[in-house]
Amino acid sequence: MFILLIVVLIVWFLSALVMVLSILFHSSKGTGLSDIIAGQVYSSISGTSIIEKNLDRITIVSAVVFLVSILILMIIYPQGTLAN
């Protein structure tokens, strides 16, 4: 059980880190880091850059992994089991 806790905590931490970084990389009105990196590489259908779409996917996946890891932690340690 202790190894499972360590693995879930590592996954939780890494997903939180990836989620924060991917949110910070999002552009706001074309002035973010993704717009600087992408330059003029735009999708012809929606007008958003390919990098922005990938950042959206990375953010969604990391948020789902974060929430699942939180739920697993809630199952492993129900309320009141970590009392001193």
Which residues of the chain fall short of a pLDDT of 50?
A: 43-44, 84
Domain membership flag for residue 14 = yes
Domain membership flag for residue 48 = yes
Domain membership flag for residue 82 = no
Domain membership flag for residue 12 = yes
Domain membership flag for residue 55 = yes
Which has the closest alpha carbon to 9: 64, 60, 82, 66?
66
Domain membership flag for residue 53 = yes
Domain membership flag for residue 81 = no
Position 26 scores a pLDDT of 76
Domain membership flag for residue 84 = no
Return d(Cα 49, Cα 43) in angstroms, integer. 6
Position 25 scores a pLDDT of 82
The model carries a pTM of: 0.70
Position 76 scores a pLDDT of 85
> 57: domain range?
2-76
How many structural domains are present in the chain? 1
